[in-house]
Structure 1
Amino acid sequence: MADLRCRGCKVLFNNQKSKNQHIGASPSCLNFYDKESTHFSAHPESSSRQPRPQLPIDPILSPPFSHQPIPYRDSDEPTYDLPSPSRASHPHPDENPPKRRRVMIEEVEDVDTNEAWAHEKFPRPVATMQGSGVTAFKDQLTEQKSMREQPYSPFRDRKEWGLVKWLMRRTTQTGVDEYLKLEITRDVTKPSFKHKGSMLKKVDLLPVGPTWNVDDIKVTGDLRGPKEEFLTEDLELWRRNPVECIADLLGNTAFKDFIVYEPVKIKRNGQRYYSEMCTGDWWWKIQSRLPHGATVASVVLASDKTQLSVFRGDKTAWPVYLTLANIDKEVRRKPSSHASVLLGYIPVAKLACFADATRSDAQQRLFHACMKLLLAPLIKAGKDGVLMTCADGLIRHVYPILAAYVADHPEQCLIACCKENRCPRCTVPRDSRGEETSYPLRNHQVTLDLLSQSQATEDNVPELESQGVRTSAPHPFWAELPHTDIFATISPDILHQLHKGVFKDHLVEWVSKVVGRTELDRCFASLPQCHGLRHFKTGISTLTQWTGAEAKEIEKVLLALLVGRVDPAVVSAVKALIDFIYLAQYHVHSETTLARLREALSAFHCYKDVFIQLEIREQFNIPKLHALLHYLEAIRSLGCLDGLNMETSERLHIDFTKAAYRASSRNEYTAQMTTWLQRQEALVRREAYLAWALSTIDEEVDPGEESSDDESDKDQDETAGDEDADARSAGKAPVGSEYDDAQEAEYKTLKLLLASNVRRAYQLPLTPSARRVSLSDLSTRYGAIDFLADLRAYMTTYLPSALPPNEYNTYDVFHDINILTPASRYFDNSKRICKVRASPAKPRVGHRRPAPPRFDCGLFVVDEDLHRREGKLNGVCAARIRVIFHLPSHLGYTPHALLYVQWFRPFRGPEQHSGLYTTSHSTSNKARRHSIVSASTLLRSCHLIPKYGPDDVDPDWTTDTVLDAPTDFFLNTYIDFAMFHELSFPDRAE
C-alpha cells in the first residue's frame, strides 16, 4: 500500500493524488523530496532500506542533456550528422525510478555576472535618510498589541474575516441581507453581525487610505434663460489629495522590495540599457535640479473617459489614476497589486448652458480647471518637498514631480492645448505628419506665453496658428507644476497609437483592399491553430468590436498571409510596421534594439508609397503614424513603454469604475461609487496588513519550536476528494472540485517552474490525460501510423536489453506539455512558458460541444553542437507532435517522456521580403516521415503557416487539415516575442 504521509511536513492524506498535489504546490516539501531523490541517486544501496517516493515533480537525476538522432536517413534531402547517443542516461530497464512531471533539460549557463553590468550612480547624494519612521502596518500592529486585539479585529477570527471578504466582493447589499437571514447562517455560521448595516459598520472601522473630498463647481454658460439670466450647470468634482496618495504608495510595506529611490544608468559591454524609468534620462535630469539628498517621486497620471453602462450610453465616467514610477513596472501592470490609485473623477457634463459653437471650448476649460484643483497640492510639495516614511521604514525628503501622462490622442491634445490635427509633443506642421522628419518639441514657456498673448490682444497671433495652439484654456493645469515639461511627459500610447491605431485602423484596412476582404478571411479561417493563438473562424471582416487583444492576435499572423499574394513592397512595408510594433513593446531596450526600432520605422517610410501607387492611399498625414517618431526619444527619457501603457488604464476601469457603478443604485452614483471603493480598498489594505503582520508574528516565535505549517493548506489537502482512476481514461477530463484542485496545483507548479534556475525544462500534467490507450487508438484517434515499429526502433537503440513492445501493450498518454524556454533580458519571466498540445478529437458529451483534434508543432534540436555554436535554427527541425507518452513500466525506464512526431524538412531561407523561414513535409517514398524521440529534444512550440501563394485559397484547406497539405510552410516568427527576437534580425540575437 502506498505511503500517504508527506515525509516533508508529516501530513497524512486520503489518497496519492492529494499527496502529489500537495508536494507539487509546497516548495519546502518539494525541496525535501528533491534532496532525498538526489541521495537515492548517489546511494542506490539505500533503496533497499526504504522505498523511493513517488514524486509529482523532480529535477532530472540523469546525466546532462543528451540528444538522440532521428532514426532515419534520406539521401534526397539534407540531414545533420548527429553524434552517437550516450546510453548512460538510459538506465537498465530493471531500474525503474518514478516518472517525472518536471524535468530540467539544461542548467543555466552564461549567467550575467556582476562584472558584466555597470551601474552608474548619480554623482551626488540621493534619497538621503532623514531618520527612521514607523510604517502604517507597524503602527497598526503596535496599536492592536496595546489593545490586546487579535489581527483580524474587528472581526471575530480568520473564518469570519474570510466570510466578510466574500460577501463584500461577491454579493450585493441585498444579497448580504438575504444570506444573513438564512437559518443555516444564524444557527451554524453565527456571524457577529446580524444584517448588512452592522457588517458595514465593522468594515468602516478598518483603516483606510486617503479620504475623498467633493468640490461643488458652478459653470456659467453663454446662453440665456427666459429671464435673460445666464444659464448655469452645477457639477461635482470628486478627488483625493495626490500628496497623500503618493505617501500612501511610498509607505506601503507590500512594495518594500519593489521600490527604487534614485536614478541609475545601466551599461553592459559599453552599451546602455533602458528599463524602469529610473534608468532613463528624465529622472537623472530632474535629480540634478533638486537639493542634495532629495528623493524624486516620479508621478505617472492616466485619464480616459469610459462608458459605465452597456445599455445606457449616457452614463460616462472620467477617472484619473495615479501611480509612481518608483514602483517596478511589472508590479504596476498588475491591477491586483493595487499600485495604482484612483485620484478623482472629472465631471462629465453636457454643458447645455453653452451654445454649440462654444461648448467644446468650455469643456476644455472645465477639464483644465478640474485638473488644476486635483493637482494643486503637488505645486508646493514639488517645490519644497515633503518628509515621508517610505516602505523600508526610513524617512526621506520627497519631491513629487509629474513624470508622465498616459492618455489617448484626443486627450493628449486636450492636455497640451493644441488642435487634434497637430502633434501634442512637437511643432510639426499639419501637412507634414506623414514624413520621417523630426521637429523640435513644443516649449513649455513659449506655449504659456502664446496663451497669455491670446488673452491680452484680439489680434491674431501668427505663432498660434503655426504651432496649432488652442486658446480656449488660457490657464492650463500644468502651468505652475514645478519641474514639469508637459509636452515631454506625454508618453506614447501603445494601445491606441499602435494596436488600435496604425495597425487596426490603417494597415489592416490597406491590406484588406489589396488582397480582398473575402480572400483574406479565407486565409484567416484556414490557418492552423496553435496554443495561445486566437483562431478567427470566419475571418476578421466580421469583427464588430476591436480591442487591443484582437489586434495583437492578427499582428502575429498577418505578414505570412501576404507573401506571394501581394507586391513585395507591400510585404516589406507590413513587415517594417509590425517589427516596429513588436520592438516598441520590449520590456528592456538596449542601444541595439533602439537602433532596430528606428530602422523599422525608416523601412516603413521607405516602402509606404506602394500604397499610393496601388491607389489605397493619397497621403500619410496621419497623427498616430507621426507619433511613432517620438517613441525612441520617449524610451530614452522615460524608460520602456510597457510601464506607460493605456492597457493598464483600461483594465483599471473595470475595478475602479465599472464595478463601482454596478454596486451603486444608479442614482447620484458617484458618491456611492467612492464609498464602495473606499470599503474595497480597506479590505485590500487589511489583507496586505494581515499577510505582513502574521509573518511578523511568526518571526517572533522561537525558531527551535515546531509550529503548524499552513493550516489552511493542510485543511485543503486533507479534505481533497478521492482519486477517480477512470476519470481521465479515453481522454475524458475529470469534473468537479477535484479537477479544480488539479488545475490549481498545476498552476502553482508552473509558477515554481518559472522561478527555477534552469535554462530549459518541460512539465507534464499531474496525471495522464488518457490511460491504457491501445495501439489501435493511437493509430486511429492520434494519427500515430506505424507507432509500434517506431517504438521498437527507438528501444533497439536506447533500451536494447528491454522486452520488445507488442501489439497488446497500452500506454498512458498526455494531451499537452508545458515547455520552459530560455530566459531573455528583454522580456518578463512570465513569457517563458509555452504549451504544445497533442489531443485527439473528443465527441459530444451531454451539452458539451465536440472538440476537434489539436496536434501542435514544435521545434526539436537534432544537432546539439551546431545549435549551441550557431544558434537560431541551426541544428533544429520542426515536427508535428501526435503522442506524448510514458513507456509501460514493464518495458523499461526512460528519464524523459517520449513523443511520436511527424517531421518537416530543415528550414530554408529567410525569404527576402518577409524574413520568414520555410519548410515542408519530410518524406520517404512519398510518405510522411515519423519517429519517436525523447521529450528532452523538444526546444519549444512553433506555429507553421501554409504558403498561400497568388491563387485563391484551396477549399480543402481547413484549420484542422492544412498542416497535412503538400505545400510549403512558413515558420511564424511573430508567434511570440522570444521567437521574434531570436529570428527577426540577421545577426544573432543578444
Structure 2
Amino acid sequence: MAAIDHFLGIELIKALPLSFHTAKELRGRAELLPSGPKWQYHIISTEHPMKLPVHLYWRDPLDCIELLFNNPRFAKDIDFIPECIYTMAEHMVRIYDEWMTGDTAWMMQSELPEGSTLLGVILSSDKTNITNMTVRNKASSHAFLLTALLPIAEFVHPVKRMQGVLEAHLIHQCLDIVLEPLKQAAHIGCMMSDPVRNLRYCFTPLTSYIVDTPEAAMLACQFSDGFQHPPCTAKTTLTQLKSIKSMCDPRNFEDFFAAYEPYHLSGVVDPFWHNWPFTDPTRFLTLEALHHWHREFYDHNVQWCIRIIGTEELDFHFSVLQPLVTFRHFKQGILMLKQVTGRAQRDMQHYLVAVIVDAAPPGVVIAVRALMDFHYLSQAVTISSNQCQKILDALKTFHNHKHQIIVHGGCQGAKSKNILDNWYIPKLELMQSVVLSVYQDPAELTNNQNYDPQICQYLDHIEKCQHFHTATSIAQQLQSQMDTATTGYGDDDLDDGINDDKGADEADDLQATISDLWGTGCVITNFFKKAQLASSSTTAPRPLCTFIAGSTTIHLNFYPSLRCQAIDNVAEKFCLPDLRAALANYIQREGQIVQNLCVYKLTGQHRASPNMNLPFKHLDIWFKVCVQQMPHDTGSALLPALTVSASLPDANWKHGRYDAAIFTVDGTEQWPASGLQGDLTYASVFFVLRNTIY
C-alpha cells in the first residue's frame, strides 16, 4: 500500500481524473464492486490437543461451480451431453478425449432424471506455502477457483506417526464441511444458469481429485498385495475398517492404528466422500504428470539405476552424450545437481534408457523401458481403445520383469538402505488406475500477522477487479458493435440479410474479446493455413518459407541465419568435404517433382565429382526450422509446432550441436501406423537454398 501511495503521489498521476488518491481509497472502491462467492471461516474442534486452534477458511463450492458454469468465457467449451467418439463408422476403435467421452459419464447420466445436466467436479489440492500462493499461478486458464485454505495443524502427541494419522482425520473433517453443498446437489440436484443464460437442472458428482502421492495414499481406502491381486473396492475396505475399529478400545487410538497398519490403510473410517453419490476412489483418484510420472521417474527409476550401475558410471554415461539444443546436457552427470526441477526430470527421461543399455542387466533395462513406455503413452492428449491396451501391456511388461530390480539390489528403503522385497510404492500402485480413469476420464505482501483473513480479502479484491474488467470490456465491445451497425449500414442494407452473417461475426468478436481477457495468451500458430495462403498467392516470394509436405508443414524464418555464403566456405565451416558433390547429386540425379517443389535425397554414395560446377555459388543457411504436424486422430486440436535447431561448430564441439529428427520420405507409408518403416531420413542440420530448390 505504501508503494501505491507513492505512485499516486507523483505529479503526473495526480493530474489524472481518478476517483481515488490513496491506496486506502482504492481498496474501498474495490470493496464496492459486485462480489463472487463469499469467504467464511469455521473453527475446527478435535478430540486431541493442538498447539494452536484451527480455523478453516472456505467458500461455498456450489457457488464456485455456478460461477464457472455461467462464465461466458466457456460458452463454446462446455459439453452438456456425454458422447462416444469412434475413428470409423463401424465403431471398431473408440477415442477417449474429455471426461464426457468416457464410460463413467454415460453411466452417471443414465441414473439421473431425464433432461438433467451432469456437472463433473474436479477437485485439486496440494501443500503449498500460503505466502507464495503458487497454486494460483498454475490456474492461468481460469477453469479452477480457490475454494478452501485447508489448515496444517500441529497435534500434541508423543508418537510422531500418530500426528500424521490425526492430520489425515482433520483433513477429511475439513473437506466434509467444505464439500457438503456439492454432496447435496449430487443427491437432489440444483438449478443453474449456463453461459447463455439457460436454466439447467444440474448434478455434481466428484469425477477427479488431483493430489500429490502422500495425500492420495491418505485418501484412498483401497489396497493390493504387491500388485498380485486386484485392489479391493472402497465399500469392502470401509466395511473392513469399521470392523477393525469395533474390535478396538475407542479410548485408545493407537490400538486402532496398530490394527489397520498391516493392511496398508489410511485409517480414515469416514472419508469425506463416503456419502457422495456416484463417488468411488477407484474412479476419482486420477494421476497427474508432475507427481506421479516425473517425480516417480526420479524418485524410483533413476534411483534403481544408480544403485545397480553405480553413481560414477551412470554420471559418466550422461556426461558423454551428444548435446542437443532442445534438451539439457548433463555434462557433470545428474548426481551433483543442486536442484532437480520438473524440467530437469523430463530431460533425464529422454536419455535414461539409452544410458543404461549394456550397463544394467537386460531384465532391468526391460522393466525401466516398459515403465517409460507407460509414462509416455499415458500422457497422450487423446487416447484410443487400442492405446489403452498398449498402456496395459507396458505395465504388464514392467510387472513381469520388476523382480530383476530387487534381485540386483535396486530397490532399497529410503532411510534404512536395506534391500526391499516388496513393491509397496503408492505411485506404482496408482498406475493401475490410469486406464480406468481414461474410460471415465500475491500473498507475499502480507504482514504475517493473522494473514489468513488478509489472504482471503486480497483474493476477493483480485476476483472482483477481474470480473469488473471483463464486464466493462464486454460492454465496450457491444457498444462498439452497435455504433458500427448504426453508422456503417443503410436501411436497404439492413433489410437484405447481411446482418444474419454479421451477427455470427459479432458473436465471434465478443468471444475473442473474452478470450483476450481470460485466456492464457498462448496461441498455437497454424502454419498449415499460412502455407496454403502463401501457395495460392502470386505475390509471395519464391521459394516459399512455409510449405506443406504430406501431413507436415515446415516453416522457416524469412531471413536466414547466414546469408549468401560461398559453397566452399560452408563446406569448410561445417566440416562437410563432400557438400558440393552432394548438392550436385541433389540437382542432377535424385530429383522428383512433388507439389511443384524439387525434393531430393542426399543419402547414399555421392557419384558426382567434388569439383562439380553448380548453377549457383552461394547458400542461405537456417539454424532453425519449425515443424508442425496434423493431429493423428479427429478428436485432437492442432498440434503446436516443434523447433529443430542446429548451431555452428566451435572449439568445444567440432561437429556442432544439433537436434535430431526423423522424417519419412516414403509416400506409401503413413505415420504413426507405419512406425519406423519405409524410407526414412535422419536430419540433423538443415541447409536451404534461396534460389530454386529446397
Q: TM-score range by the shorter chain?
A: 0.7 to 0.9
Corresponding position: 1:622 with 2:424: yes
Partner residue of 2:552 out of 760, 766, 771: 760
Of residues 439, 443, 446 in structure 1, which corresponds to 2:239? Answer: 446
Q: 1:318 to 1:458 in 2, by over 3 A?
A: farther
Partner-residue secondary structure (3-state), 2:147? strand
1:345 Cα shift?
Answer: 0.4
In the alignment, what sits opposite 1:817? 625
**d(CA) in 2 for partners of 1:375, 1:382:** 11
* 2:4 equivalent to 1:185: no
| Aligned CA distance change for structure 1 residues 863 and 359 (closer, same or farther; 3 Å) | closer
Residue of structure 1 aligned with 2:462, choices 656, 676, 680? 680
CA distance in structure 1 between the aligned counterparts of 2:675 and 2:48, rounded to whole angstroms: 66
Structure 2 CA distance for partners of 1:682 and 1:458, relative to 1, 3 Å: closer
In the alignment, is residue 482 of structure 1 matched against residue 277 of structure 2? yes
1:264 match = 83
- CA gap 1:690/1:842 in 2 versus in 1, 3 angstroms: farther
Q: 1:519 maps to which residue?
A: 313
- Counterpart secondary structure, 1:443: helix
Higher deviation after alignment, 506-515 or 853-862: 853-862
**2:687 partner SS:** strand
**Following superposition of structure 1 onto structure 2, how do residues 720-869 of structure 1 map, counting pairs within 5 Å?**
751-753=525-527, 759-775=551-567, 777-791=569-583, 794-795=586-587, 809-825=617-633, 829=637, 831-840=639-648, 853-865=656-668
User: Tell me, which stretches of 5 or more residues in structure 2 are unaligned?
Assistant: 412-419, 490-504, 507-520, 533-547, 593-612
Does residue 539 (structure 1) correspond to residue 333 (structure 2)? The answer is: yes
Which of residues 439, 444, 456 in structure 2 aligns to 1:662? 444
For residue 21 of structure 2, what is the amino acid of its counterpart? Answer: K
- After TM superposition, the structure 1 stretch with the greater mean CA deviation from structure 2, 572-581 or 828-837, is 828-837
C-alpha contact 1:303 1:318 (8 A) present in aligned 2: no
* Structure 1 residues 621 and 182, CA gap change in structure 2 (3 angstroms): same
Please state how far the C-alpha of 1:794 moved relative to its aligned partner: 4.2
Task: Assess, with a 3 A threshold, how the Cα gap between structure 1 residues 882 and 304 changes in structure 2: closer, same or farther.
Answer: closer
In 2, the alpha carbon distance for the partners of 1:309 and 1:830 equals: 38
8 Å contact kept, 2:60–2:147: yes
Deviations 1:478-521, CA, capped at 9 Å, x for gaps = 333334334542223443333212x2222211212222222221
Letter in 2 for 1:363: E
Residue pairs, 1:377-776, within 5 angstroms: 377-416=181-220, 424=221, 426-428=222-224, 432-433=225-226, 435-443=227-235, 446=239, 449-450=242-243, 453=246, 467-469=263-265, 471=267, 475-501=270-296, 503-617=297-411, 618-623=420-425, 624-636=427-439, 638-639=440-441, 660-690=442-472, 692-702=474-484, 751-753=525-527, 759-775=551-567
1:103 is aligned to none
CA distance in 2: counterparts of 1:747 and 1:346, whole angstroms:
32
Residue in structure 2 matching 1:291, options 86, 106, 113: 113
Give 1:207 deviation, angstroms: 3.4
CA distance in 1, matches of 2:4, 2:528: 40
Cα deviation, residue 293, structure 1: 1.5
C-alpha change, 1:754 and 1:628, in structure 2 (3 Å) is farther
The 1:755–1:535 alpha-carbon spacing in structure 2 relative to 1, beyond 3 Å, is farther
Instruction: For residues 935-963 of structure 1, give each alpha carbon's deviation from its aligned partner in whole angstroms, at most 9, with x where no partner exists.
Output: xxxxxxxxxxxxxxxxxxxxxxxxxxxxx
2:234 partner SS: coil
Q: Which one of 353, 375, 400 corresponds to residue 179 of structure 2? A: 375
Q: Distance in 2 between matches of 1:614 and 1:837?
A: 40
**In the TM superposition, what is the alpha-carbon distance from 1:567 to its structure 2 partner?**
2.4
Question: Aligned equivalents of 1:823 and 1:300: distance in 2?
Answer: 27
Alignment partner of 1:235 is 2:25: no
Aligned letter for 1:199? Answer: L
- Paired with 1:446 and 1:489, the residues of 2 have a C-alpha distance of 20
Q: 1:343: Cα distance to partner?
A: 0.5
1:869 Cα deviation from its structure 2 partner = 12
Question: Contact (CA 8 Å) 1:813, 1:883: kept in 2 or not?
Answer: yes
SS in 2 for 1:306: coil
Query: 1: distance between equivalents of 2:323 and 2:278?
Result: 51
TM superposition shift of 1:397: 0.7
Cα separation, 1, equivalents of 2:163 and 2:393: 44
Tell me if structure 2 keeps the 8 A contact 1:304–1:318. Answer: no
**Structure 1 counterpart of 2:38:** 211
Secondary structure of the corresponding residue to residue 239 of structure 1: strand
Q: Secondary structure at the match of 2:79?
A: coil
TM-score relative to the length of structure 1:
0.56
Shift of the 300–609 alpha-carbon distance from structure 1 to 2, 3 Å rule, reads same
Q: Is the 8 A contact 2:663 2:683 kept in 1?
A: no
Matching residue's letter, 2:337: L
Q: Give the SS at the match of 1:552.
A: helix
Larger deviation: 207-216 or 863-872? 863-872
CA distance in 1, matches of 2:475, 2:243: 55
TM superposition shift of 1:427: 3.7
The change in CA–CA distance for 1:592 and 1:796 in structure 2 (over 3 A counts) is: closer
Q: Which amino acid aligns with 2:29?
A: K
- Select 2:28's aligned residue among 186, 201, 204: 201
CA shift at 1:297, angstroms? 1.5
What's the secondary structure of 1:579's corresponding residue? helix
- Does residue 351 (structure 1) correspond to residue 155 (structure 2)? The answer is yes
Do the aligned partners of residues 354 and 564 (structure 1) sit closer, same or farther apart at CA in structure 2, a change above 3 Å counting? closer
Q: Is the 8 Å Cα contact of residues 217 and 236 (structure 1) preserved in structure 2?
A: yes
1:342 Cα deviation from its structure 2 partner: 0.5
1:875 Cα offset (Å): 3.8
Find the aligned partners of 1:790 and 1:212 in 2 and give their Cα distance: 71
Pair 633,236 (structure 1): closer, same or farther in 2 beyond 3 Å: same
Asked if 2 retains the 8 angstrom alpha-carbon contact of 1:867 and 1:875, the reply is no
Residue 516 of structure 2 corresponds to which residue in structure 1? none
| Per-residue deviation, 1:867 | 6.3
| Residue type of the alignment partner of 2:201 | H
The code of the aligned residue for 1:368 comes to H
| TM-score, scaled to structure 2 | 0.77
Contact 2:244 2:259 in 1 (8 A): no
Give 1:608 shift. Answer: 1.7
1:436–1:629 Cα contact (<8 Å) kept:
no
- Match of 2:554, SS state, is strand
Residues 255, 391 of structure 1: 8 Å contact kept? yes
Structure 1 distance, partners of 2:672, 2:330, is 39
For 1:348, the aligned partner's letter is I
Counterpart for residue 876 of structure 1: 679
| 1:15-43, Cα deviation, whole Å (9 max, x unpaired) | xxxxxxxxxxxxxxxxxxxxxxxxxxxxx
CA distance in 2, matches of 1:834, 1:479: 46
- Matched residue type, 1:489: F
- CA-CA distance at 1:186 after TM superposition: 3.5
Distance (whole Å) between structure 2 residues aligned to residue 684 and residue 450 of structure 1: 51
Kindly tell me: are residues 275 and 201 of structure 1, through their superposed partners in 2, closer, same or farther at Cα, counting changes over 3 Å? same
**CA–CA distance in 1 between the matches of 2:625 and 2:64?**
45
